[in-house]
Amino acid sequence: MATVQLFCLPYSGASAMVFSRWRRHLPQWLQVQPVEIPGRGARLGEALQTDMPALARQLALEILPALKTPYALFGHSLGALLAFEIAHVLRELGAPPPVSLFASGTAAPSMRDDYARGFADPKTDAQLKAELRDLNGTPQEVLDNEELMALTLPVLRADFRLCGLYQRRQRPLLSCPIHVLGGKDDKATQEQLIAWQQESDANFSLEMLPGRHFFIHDHEGMVLRILRSNLEVDLHRQRGQRRAALAG
């Protein structure tokens, strides 16, 4: 099996290192590459971003030199939009298409009006904490830790603006398969998730998992099996298409 690099984009308020544990549970041919966003984790000293096209271009330019093997993109929530935008920028830069694009836990680019309403509105610290509590992915002891919240809330505020200000642009469709994951009890509806199929002229799949917004952690094993099985199929298909193109 050829080595595949899986570039992983985090959700709002998170560091990409939330994906580092996946390395222990995926086969050696599938190499997890967390993509850190400025303003958090190892890039804590860098300015936070609220311009999605500019951020996607910055990250795509950082990823581009590493594309020595087949690659895929995975993003959850905010990360799904970023992965989608990065795929477009990489194409503009002349990079080969990803084997697969995995969009998890958020409405499609064409369905943002209802889903993201209010995300860009100014929010107090108390309102942001309430959002975190409602998403049910942050332990109460973290919410009560003023030092941690002082680091987290500015990141979350900037990330919510990234989501709230996002505008879909008219561009040629992507040529890679798009695989969408959703939580059965999450905010994103099946209609909003299915609309991701409008963004590519290749294969599409939708998997609905038990749980709310953080189903990727609550049902990690299921998520990783979905990633692995789809990548195996898509990698085989991509290699077949390349052989056919060379033969033709």
Active site (catalytic) residues = 77
How far, in Å, CA of 181 to CA of 190, rounded?
A: 10
Which of 112, 118, 158, 113 is closest to 134 using CA atoms?
Answer: 118
**68 in Cβ contact with 40 (< 8 Å):** no
How far, in Å, CA of 208 to CA of 188, rounded?
A: 11
Place of tokens 């971003």: 49
For residue 98 the two structure tokens come to 């990803």
